Structure 1
Amino acid sequence: MAAGDEQVSAAPAPENLLEDWEPRPFVLAALLACGGLGLHFLFDGSDPQPLAGAGAAFIFFAALAAAFALDPRNWKSVAVFALGLGAVMAGIAWHVLRFEEAYAGQHFAFAAGVFASVIALPLFQAGFHRTRLNTDYKLTHFHVWTDAISGAGALAFTGLSWLMLFLLDGLLGLVGINLIEDLTREGWFGWMWSGAAFGTALGVLRNNLKIISSLQNVVLIVLSLLAVPLALALVVFLVALLASGGQALWDATDSATPVLLACAVGCFVLTNAIMRDDDVATSRSRILRGVAMVLAAGVLPLSVFAAVSMGIRVHQHGLTPERIWALICIAVAVAYGIAYAVGLAQGRVSGWATYLRRANLNLASATGILALILALPLWDFGAISARNQVARLDAGRVSVEAFDYSALRWDFGDAGRQALARLGEREGEVGRLARAAAAQTMRVWRGLETPTRGDVAARLRVQPDSEELRAEVLDFLTTESWRCAEACIALDLGRNAEGRREIALVEGYNFERFVLGGPDGRADPIYPLAQDGQLPPFTRDAEVELREETRRAIYVNGRRVGVPVD
């Protein structure tokens, strides 16, 4: 049978889940409308405070969990699950907001909590809390896909309901009735309308799980069509990578890891779209079955290559909180890859899908537990990263000039700032650079990287050429890293009555006058001056001089820039 000869042979969904509960749409509409109203009162347009954020997380996750899992015959256990899930996410949200500046990567911790919640919902619906690892895989698979499809459908209906609302507003506006316009301007109405629309649609869809089950099979058939080009691309990639001896992976370390992980996830999703929940429902196409085996086997090499790519990055630049989270994701992907490879070896040609389904259930429960543990405030990846970065500096794996002191100031939380303070207590260049970074009041990004002191030093020229002057100017530019983007020249204007050095920083035929060595370690700008006419390109080698006239002025390539500095 060819890939396009797939037939829709929907396996029947569990009968006890197909019963229509008539009040469901009204109950869910009321539940989520009240939840939306609660969110409105907790968010007043400003950044949420920790307690308000915790309350919002509780309402949001508890309400959604109850809406998806609602079963009138088992409402007590659903209530316990929903309230427990809401309480856990409330605690995580409170910690994230309360210690947002103290701990690095807090948004990743919250995302881990969300991921754990997404995994917990279908496992609870399938009865995992009672049957543990003996949970019926077919039942779990059913809930995963019906939740995803009904949630997507309800979200689409919510968007359409807003379009209808605006259309009705325009219609009634033609006869001078502005009620809908007035309501949409009220914050509470938008939250309640969205909640009610989502709940109504979700209730209708959950009352028609038999139709959703058939639609699920159609969705899986369509998804399985994408498996063929992905498998072909995977084979081409592996052949090309082996032919290059791995050099291509080394050259592409900046972007290789997310691409490889995304492809591994694609292989996982499309493999499961083909093999489905049992052998009866598995695609009958021999081509697609073969493609599924190729994709299942491809999860491990893609995950290993992602690990190699990230290992190269860590070796070159050390650990950061983001890289630690990436390493955890890679470890999970490698675990799936190993399980799939073992399943393929055990099942050989005919029975491999059974082993993969069992691996899916075991790994899903383990991954959910891992995500929950990582979401809890048990780890400080900022402290781990800071220790690693300082150890690299002390071991000489990164030079004093190239070390990213700004990362300790901004990216690693309180642990990074404490490490930076300890570096600032040292003598010599390390201490001076650390103190300059600690004085920064803003993190400025140029592209994806912050310019290092070495980058700025390569663009800077000082007049007169003095190591003392150059060091002072570089300290200043370290705190104002958006300056000297291409080339700049610093002219020494002498010291003022307070004994502080004054400079004129010339950049792109403009200059600003600064007083260095202020109380906070930063310069005090005097005034900026505009460009004077059409001039040749400004470079670091431009001829710049400070001429004595009635008043002093700056000349670049023989032409005066702006107004006199005095």
Structure 2
Amino acid sequence: MTIFGANETAPRDGADRSSLGVENQRAMAVARIAIGVTQGLVLYLLYRTTEDQGIGRAMIWPATVPGLFGPLMLVALYLPVVLLAGVGRLRPMTLAVWAGIAAVVLGLLGWHDVVRQAVGNGPDEAPYLDLPLFPFAAVALFIAHHLIVPADQERRWIASFAAYFDTAWKAGVQLALSIGFTVAFWLLLFLGAALFNVIGLRFLGDLIQEPWFAIPVTTLTFAVAVHLTDVRDGLIRGVRSVALMLLSWLLLVMTVLVAGFMAALPFTGLDGLWATGSATALVLAAAGALIVLINTAYQDGRPENAPPAVLKIAVRVAALLLTPLVVLAIWGLALRIGQYGLTPDRIIAAACAVVGGIYAVGYGYAALPVHRAGWMQPLERTNVGAAVATVATILVLFSPLADPARLSVADQMARLERGAVSPEAFDYRFLRFESGRVGEKALARLAASSDAAVATRAKEAQAAESRYEIEPPSVLSQVVIEAYPAGTALPQGFAVPVMSSDIRATCDTAGKCLAQSLDMNGDGQVEVLLANPWMLMLFQQADGAWVEVGTVDLARCGGPRQDPRETMRSGGLRPVPSPWADLEVAGVVNPINRSADCERAQAVAKPPVAAPAPPR
């Protein structure tokens, strides 16, 4: 018995696998079940090393060596998936070489991610990997695997675009169905456990909570699902065809929405977009959605799979819209970096914008009638090139070559040294808790600084056990709070409470925050109402400092959602005395929970309607 794929007569990925010989199907099933069982056992053993062993320490080897445990965990999670997807699709030698390369790369990524973490991952602390590594590693593996499979099947370095499309989209559907099958399996187990619990039998409920059962059964179920979906090739292709058809028509909706958004920008301006604080992520997400939907309409580029004329127009328009979207993303990111410097999130966003730029240039060129190729055909080369660039970018970002934490720390330190940020506004929390070993080393340098203010704050950060013990950086010079009515002035020092609260980053551009001075409780002292796009906040002065005493949600009483700033500008805010005083109970003052507040608010807002006159 040989595993399918060991001979040169193995059908290509596009062939119907339901016609495979019984012996080959059995061999593939045995191989995949063995992979699933082995993965489950390895993951369980790794999990066991992190548990309390009852011998005076929390973990045993290899969990006590984070630089070893992290790579082992990442390899155990992802390498079996590569093997499951490669059995029957790659020649044995190709699969062995590719699996070896994937294992080495995953191991190096896991090792780097652990060793760059801050010191303190000792034998009493569980080793860990940063969360972003998991999705990015999965994306890199998926893309790389489906660059290799078609090339191996066609026996050339670069396969045809039709082969890339067929392999990748089929694998995507297969992965989704396999995950869904595994989730459904566990839902049925929980349902069965609930049924047995009703009659007093708890063995199944207790069993599924045991890691020695749950982990291997999950991996085995996923492996079985992969095999079942693989040998039912016609089913997968049918599901894929339906999914592509439905998604391709959603391209019309997305194209209209993005076109409308771009058309409205000249009239609304960009302030609203920048005010979100996540403009780059939002715009890049829209660009990513367009890229996926364009490909669902274009498919493999064969004439028989060409979309209707209306979708062809939508594809061209969407391809051209990618460029302004990516430009907006880069613009917003550049403004943010110019204001606050580099952070790991901004570096990752910049990398995504670069990949998006590759798509925008390639798709824009494909949409123009300046080339002699067929309809949108340059899109094919763009997809392959962007796929390679995506894998390379992920490997660079999660390796020492372009470690986002290292680059961010270097940039933030340079900003401090050249005076672009003051010692008071510098983010010491980032160095202490968010940038790993390189941040701790930079913080040690600051603690030895000749600048007393810098050294004091750095030493306080070094002594902190939690990020919440460190005062957030002051951004006083960047806060813009407009006074209402125009021409009036806010009380001196009012910006102080804004600096020390979570809303300090909200008031960073003109028009985002509006404040009004008024006496809210009739005590002759001035309070301040601060309106941002979401709510009203009341501040009062106590012991020489301005403190927040409460908030107001304008939609709480069932009214329409309003912009608090517009309500303030229209003069629609005025204090109304409370009809009930607070109640002191055993020396403790308790506010009365007034259930009729909303009815009272409506009565104040709407004058009573006169009763109709009696009929004569």
Same fold (TM over 0.5): yes
Q: SS of the residue aligned with 2:364?
A: helix
Q: SS of the residue aligned with 1:353?
A: coil
Q: SS of the residue aligned with 2:425?
A: coil
Are the counterparts in 2 of residues 109 and 374 from structure 1 also a CA contact under 8 Å? no
Query: What residue number does 1:365 align with?
Result: 388
Counterpart among 398, 409, 414 of residue 391 in structure 1: 414
| Separation in structure 1 between the aligned mates of residue 241 and residue 279 of structure 2, nearest angstrom | 33
Query: What residue number does 1:219 align with?
Result: 243
Deviations 1:68-102 (A, max 9, x none): 11118823322332233133212322332233226
Give matches, 1:104-503, under 5 Å: 107-109=131-133, 111-127=135-151, 134-170=158-194, 179-252=203-276, 254-345=277-368, 351-424=374-447, 425-444=449-468, 450=472, 452=474, 458-459=496-497
| Separation in structure 2 between the aligned mates of residue 54 and residue 132 of structure 1, nearest angstrom | 32
Deviations 1:242-284 (A, max 9, x none): 33454444444x0211110100000000000000012324443
Query: What residue number does 2:43 align with?
Result: 39
What amino acid maps onto 1:85 in structure 2? A
Counterpart among 87, 104, 115 of residue 87 in structure 1: 104
| Separation in structure 2 between the aligned mates of residue 279 and residue 377 of structure 1, nearest angstrom | 42
Per-residue deviation at 1:356? 0.2
| Separation in structure 2 between the aligned mates of residue 270 and residue 242 of structure 1, nearest angstrom | 26
CA shift in 2, pair 1:281/1:144, >3 Å:
farther
Please report the TM-score for the alignment, with normalisation by the length of structure 1.
Answer: 0.73
**Higher relative helix content:** 1
Select between 366-375 and 207-216 the one with higher mean Cα deviation.
366-375
What amino acid maps onto 2:118 in structure 1? E
CA shift in 2, pair 1:207/1:130, >3 Å:
closer
CA shift in 2, pair 1:18/1:358, >3 Å:
farther
| Separation in structure 1 between the aligned mates of residue 453 and residue 408 of structure 2, nearest angstrom | 22
Deviations 1:334-369 (A, max 9, x none): 111111112222566982421101211122123213
Please report the TM-score for the alignment, with normalisation by the length of structure 2.
Answer: 0.67
CA shift in 2, pair 1:102/1:227, >3 Å:
farther
Are the counterparts in 1 of residues 397 and 403 from structure 2 also a CA contact under 8 Å? no
What amino acid maps onto 1:59 in structure 2? A
Per-residue deviation at 1:240? 1.3
Are the counterparts in 1 of residues 150 and 163 from structure 2 also a CA contact under 8 Å? yes
| Separation in structure 2 between the aligned mates of residue 210 and residue 394 of structure 1, nearest angstrom | 63
Counterpart among 20, 28, 35 of residue 32 in structure 2: 28
Per-residue deviation at 1:176? 6.9
Number of equivalenced pairs: 465
Q: SS of the residue aligned with 1:534?
A: strand
Select between 387-396 and 119-128 the one with higher mean Cα deviation.
387-396
Are the counterparts in 2 of residues 220 and 274 from structure 1 also a CA contact under 8 Å? yes
Q: SS of the residue aligned with 1:226?
A: helix
| Separation in structure 1 between the aligned mates of residue 116 and residue 413 of structure 2, nearest angstrom | 23
Unpaired runs of at least 5, structure 1: 1-11, 461-484, 492-504, 510-530, 537-566
Please provide the CA RMSD for this pair: 3.7
Are the counterparts in 1 of residues 151 and 158 from structure 2 also a CA contact under 8 Å? no
What amino acid maps onto 2:107 in structure 1? A
Per-residue deviation at 1:310? 0.6
Unpaired runs of at least 5, structure 2: 1-11, 52-58, 121-127, 480-492, 499-537, 550-585, 592-616
Counterpart among 56, 59, 66 of residue 83 in structure 2: 66
Per-residue deviation at 1:39? 0.3
Are the counterparts in 2 of residues 25 and 201 from structure 1 also a CA contact under 8 Å? no
| Separation in structure 2 between the aligned mates of residue 309 and residue 445 of structure 1, nearest angstrom | 31
Deviations 1:98-130 (A, max 9, x none): 332269995445544332211111112112698
Select between 285-294 and 383-392 the one with higher mean Cα deviation.
383-392
| Separation in structure 2 between the aligned mates of residue 349 and residue 241 of structure 1, nearest angstrom | 34
Deviations 1:355-407 (A, max 9, x none): 10121112212321332233333334333222322332333333333222322
Q: SS of the residue aligned with 2:117?
A: coil
Query: What residue number does 1:549 align with?
Result: none
Per-residue deviation at 1:535? 8.5
Counterpart among 82, 87, 93 of residue 76 in structure 1: 93
CA shift in 2, pair 1:302/1:360, >3 Å:
same
CA shift in 2, pair 1:91/1:427, >3 Å:
closer
Are the counterparts in 2 of residues 60 and 86 from structure 1 also a CA contact under 8 Å? no
CA shift in 2, pair 1:275/1:72, >3 Å:
closer
Percent of counterpart pairs with the same letter? 27
Deviations 1:39-63 (A, max 9, x none): 0110135595442332232222221
Matched, 1:15 2:15: yes
Q: SS of the residue aligned with 1:444?
A: helix
| Separation in structure 1 between the aligned mates of residue 256 and residue 223 of structure 2, nearest angstrom | 42
CA shift in 2, pair 1:412/1:62, >3 Å:
closer
Per-residue deviation at 1:202? 1.2
Per-residue deviation at 1:229? 1.4
| Separation in structure 2 between the aligned mates of residue 305 and residue 506 of structure 1, nearest angstrom | 38
Query: What residue number does 1:533 align with?
Result: 588
Select between 450-459 and 114-123 the one with higher mean Cα deviation.
450-459
| Separation in structure 1 between the aligned mates of residue 201 and residue 278 of structure 2, nearest angstrom | 55
